[in-house]
């Protein structure tokens, strides 16, 4: 699907990405300027171009690496051989963990990638569609096996993913609930809704 961003990046590039993730997610990609980014890093705007050729290349790098995180954590769980409900449980937990570990980048995965231009935009859309298909397949299988309630498949998929994706909007590292607790409760809540008692 997407090229794997495995090449080691210079520490400076990583610092730029980290700051860009913060800015792009807090202000939005369009509203965040290269001058904002440079200032956050304590350098002049033109210096950014010693590392990246364009603003969009930074967005693209963030988007790729974040998608890679999601795919790598969740897809193996989808491909397992356990019963659908168990696999879905593992997928939910993995997805939540990635969202929280990449809280800023997740905004790019969920929304800001739309500011990419072709052909990256279409490529990225396809990779997200494939990711969602993994959830839909498990749901379909569970419904076929009579474990999940019969219902419109797409709707269940959307409900499931929306609950998971919204986590980045309300999770606070200093909040009351931490990762394992969120995983437990959200997985239970969602599976309760899907499963036949």
Partner DNA sequence: ATATTTGCCTAACGACTGTTAGTAAGCCCG
Partner DNA sequence: CGGGCTTACTAACAGTCGTTAGGCAAATAT
x/- contact string, 57-76, with its own copies (CB under 8 A)?
A: --------------------
State which residue, 34 or 85, has the beta carbon closest to DNA. Answer: 34
In angstroms, give the least distance from the CB of 197 to its own copies: 5
| Paired tokens of 112 | 């800001």
**Cβ of 1: how many Cβ atoms within 10 Å?**
15
Q: Are 109 and 70 spatial neighbours (Cβ–Cβ below 8 Å)?
A: yes
CA distance 76 to 46: 42
Q: Does 115 bind its own copies (CB under 8 A)?
A: yes
Contacts (Cβ under 8 Å, ≥6 apart) of 13: 51, 52
In angstroms, give the least distance from the CB of 102 to DNA: 22
Binder of its own copies out of 126, 169, 178, 180 (CB under 8 A): 169
| Paired tokens of 71 | 């795919």
CA distance 194 to 197: 9
x/- contact string, 7-36, with its own copies (CB under 8 A)?
A: ---------------------x-xx-----
In angstroms, give the least distance from the CB of 120 to DNA: 13
**Cβ of 14: how many Cβ atoms within 10 Å?**
11
Residues that bind its own copies (CB under 8 A): 28, 30-31, 111, 114-115, 149, 151-152, 154-156, 158-159, 161-163, 165-167, 169-170, 176-177, 181-182, 185-186, 188-190, 192-194, 197
């Amino acid at each position: 699907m997407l090229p794997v961003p495995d090449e080691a990046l210079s520490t400076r590039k990583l610092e730029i990405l980290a700051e860009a993730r913060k800015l792009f997610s807090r202000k939005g990609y369009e509203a965040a300027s290269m001058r904002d980014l440079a200032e956050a890093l304590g350098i002049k705007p033109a210096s950014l171009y010693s590392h990246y050729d364009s603003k969009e290349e930074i967005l693209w790098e963030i988007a790729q690496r974040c998608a890679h995180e999601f795919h790598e954590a969740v897809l193996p769980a989808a491909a397992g051989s356990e019963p659908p409900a168990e696999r879905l449980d593992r997928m939910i937990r993995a997805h939540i963990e990635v969202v929280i570990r990449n809280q800023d980048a997740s905004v790019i995965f969920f929304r800001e990638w739309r500011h990419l231009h072709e052909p990256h935009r279409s490529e990225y859309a396809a990779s997200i569609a494939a990711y969602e298909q993994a959830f839909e397949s498990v749901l379909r299988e569970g419904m076929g096996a009579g474990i999940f309630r019969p219902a419109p498949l797409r709707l269940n998929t959307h409900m499931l993913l929306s609950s998971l994706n919204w986590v980045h909007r309300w999770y606070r590292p200093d909040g009351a609930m931490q990762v394992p607790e969120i995983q437990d409760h959200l997985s239970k809540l969602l599976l309760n809704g899907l499963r036949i008692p």
